[in-house]
Structure 1
Amino acid sequence: MKMTKKSIWFKITFVALVIVVALFFLMPILWAASISFKTRIDALSIPPKLVFKPTLDHYRSIIKNSNVVHGFYNSIILTFSTLLISMIVGLPSAYAMARYNFPWKRVFLLWILIGLMIPLMALAIPFYIIYQHLGLLDTYAGMIMVYLIIDLPFVVWMMGTFFKQIPREIDEAAMIDGCSQIQTIIRVLLPIAKPGIAAATISCLIATWNEFLFALILTQTKVKTAPVVMSGFLSTSGARWGEMAALSVILMVPAIVFGVTIQKYYIQGLTAGAIKE
């Protein structure tokens, strides 16, 4: 079938629009990456230099900075601890919400939804006061509990919706074959729910990895995360743009690698339920 002139122009316009939108979102990343390889003079030059001699000085400075290394270490511990607990607690909870009816179920779901809607800024000061009295300021346990409040409702809500789309007949067939309730979840339902798990995992990972507000207010030195350490490069005497750009690039790499690795499942998980058969 031959394409008409109108359809050809529509396709060209659509592709051009996609490229423009992609460049719009990629520009800050590319700009940060370019600054991380520029000298301080080149980074501050006006107009900006598009052709320059690259340097790794900013990356060397970051690697030698003990505060940055410690902040990166804290970010890894907090992110993956929160992610692990969110999945261990959230997946069975989501399954129960999807498969069983119990008193106050709708109220419980409503509270989860409200938890997702509350602005984080509204919780920061109350948490600071409570943690100050409980001795949880600048502790791993305190930060993990805060991040669980952010991630766990999302996992339960998202995976509950995903489990609802899996026919109950699959559960019944697995039990007829001799599987217990736990075996049915682990061996049958979780493999089917891989796309949803991938979407929930990467969403929680990005939210915790990039979190700044609570880390700034509830930590001091021991549990300070990498985003908070990066904010320390801004001072009244000036900004260390090269180091900030280098650290931002380093912080982007794990999320990008993880996202690219599971992007197939992530897209399937986000679009689950969009098409009804």
Structure 2
Amino acid sequence: MDFRFTEEEEAFRKEVRDFIRESLPPDWLGVDPGPEEESREEIYPLALEMWRKLGSKGWIGMSWPKEYGGQGASLMKETILAEELSHRGVPGVDVAQAHGEIILMFGTEEQKQRFLPPITSGEVKYTIGMSEPNAGSDLFALQLRAVEEADCFVLNGQQIWTSGIPHAAWCMLYARTDPDAPKKSLGISVFLVDPKSSGITMRQITQMTGLAPFSEVFYDNVRVPKENLLGEKNGGRAVTMYAFGAERSYGLFVLHNARRYFEQLVQYCK
């Protein structure tokens, strides 16, 4: 097997590099991937602009089917894009793309048509609603309740370390729908929740750096339409395991982000 990039792939890499060079300030040193840097007031406007520019280029979810706003591009081209964006420390790359992968896998046709095109166009940003004060690494210990009613699910509970939620259009939220399930991992469901919904309050958490990328979020009788249930009721374990796989592709960004720091260190030492 030939692992070398094709001429088309190398041409695409050059196109991405040219785009980054033309879009960022000439003295740009880069930022770490993730919500911390975007919480800086001087960074967020550029991050939002870059996310929208990526959307206008068709580079968000570019491997997704064309009917949902993607290009049907190869995984290799998507990988090249991720490498270059992370190596240059481009701000604005959002978790929405990972969430789009989850919607592609578990969403209904109506959900795909509704939620995916705004992601690929760079119109919206997403956040993850997983962690609770007593459910961090042990996600399946979560206690936020979602009670089914005639036309909706009603959320009550608390989450913490929710990143970037003040700017998010949607939160992919994990909640307990069956407290009596024989295993705690079997009673969880996943919802797409509008953070502006009535009954949601949030408190940003300021860190030692002075930045506040995370929030504590309280849900008080928040009504979520049934059509916003992602996957099956009590089927959240399958969604969760797939989500961890999609989100851990974040490691690619960390790797090439570190490469930039190393190159800058070498240049400084010279």
The higher-RCO structure (CA 8 Å, 6+ apart) is: 1
More strand by share: 2
Highest Rg: 1 or 2? 1
TM-score band, normalised by shorter chain? under 0.3
| TM-score of the pair, normalised by structure 2 | 0.23
Question: Greater share of helix residues, 1 or 2?
Answer: 1
TM-score, length of structure 1 as denominator length: 0.23
